Amino acid sequence: MGHKLIQYAADTFKWCSGILIGLTVILNFIAVIMRYALSNPIMWCEEISLLLFVSAISFAIIPMTYSRRAVKLDFFTDLASPKIQAFCQIIVELVSGFVLGTVSMLGITLMMRTKYRFTPILQIPYKYIYLVTVIGMGISAIIFIYHSFEDIKKLRVISSEKIK
pLDDT at 163 exceeding the cut of 60: no
User: Between residues 120 and 2, which one has the greater pLDDT?
Assistant: 120
pLDDT at 156 exceeding the cut of 80: no
Round to whole Å and give the CA distance between 58 and 84.
31
What does the pLDDT average to over 57-64? 87
pLDDT in tens, 110-119: 888 887 888 8
Longest dimension (CA), the chain: 77
pLDDT at 126 exceeding the cut of 80: yes
Residue 93, pLDDT score? 86
Q: Are 152 and 143 in contact (CB under 8 A)?
A: no
CB count within 10 Å of CB 104 equals 19
Axis crossing angle, helix 126-163 with helix 2-32, rounded to the nearest 10: 140
pLDDT at 162 exceeding the cut of 70: no
